[in-house]
Amino acid sequence: MRDAVAGVIVVALAACGASAKQQAQREQVAFNCKERIASYVASHHMAGDEVGVQLDCTDGPRVKRWKTDKAGKRNEETIPLSPIEFEKVWREIDGTGWPNMKDCLGGTAGKNDPVYVFDIKDDQNQVSFSCQSRSMPYPYDKIVDPLDMVGLNHKGQLGDDEPDDLKKFDKRDLQK
């Protein structure tokens, strides 16, 4: 009986080891950077004087986010991505037809609206275009949204989103 139980345990452990090894092999991905970069920089955005996100693979798949406040203080972070995450975001951006995109005409284009400047390239194409709008119209939103989401999924909000001049109200005791 003990030999039978020990045999079952050995077979189960071998199966688990083989399964883990097979899973690791399935998840291995041959990654080819192809000089891909996708970024946007928004000037005079409500989140900061300048906000930006860049997806690239020059030093491995990664996303870089930054925010500069009105005083010029820059808050920046770089988040490494798995090749699978990078490819997922790139597929979403690539689905916009970015090589054929030009400056947008469908934005709100208000005098105080942020100006988004996009730079996207791979080993075959490179484009730059812009859009002035409070929110991005289609298909420009299909570039901004995946770039924003990949950073938020890993780290959440970049920096402190409450301006210093409003923090004084947190400390004030309104009920005496």
* Measured distance CA(174)–CA(176) in Å, rounded: 6
Instruction: Let me know whether 2 and 42 are in one domain.
Output: no
62 closest CA partner among 41, 90, 42: 90
Specify if 101 maps to a domain.
yes
Instruction: Let me know whether 89 and 51 are in one domain.
Output: yes
> Is the pTM value of this prediction over 0.75?
no
Q: Tell me the per-residue pLDDT of 107-157, one tens digit each, with 9 for 90 and over.
A: 888 888 899 999 999 999 999 999 999 989 999 999 999 999 998 877 655
Instruction: Let me know whether 23 and 48 are in one domain.
Output: no
Specify if 2 maps to a domain.
yes
Residue-range definition of the domain harbouring residue 22: 1-30
Instruction: Let me know whether 1 and 87 are in one domain.
Output: no
Instruction: Let me know whether 25 and 42 are in one domain.
Output: no
Domain count across the chain? 2
Instruction: Let me know whether 1 and 88 are in one domain.
Output: no
Q: Tell me the per-residue pLDDT of 84-96, one tens digit each, with 9 for 90 and over.
A: 999 999 999 999 9
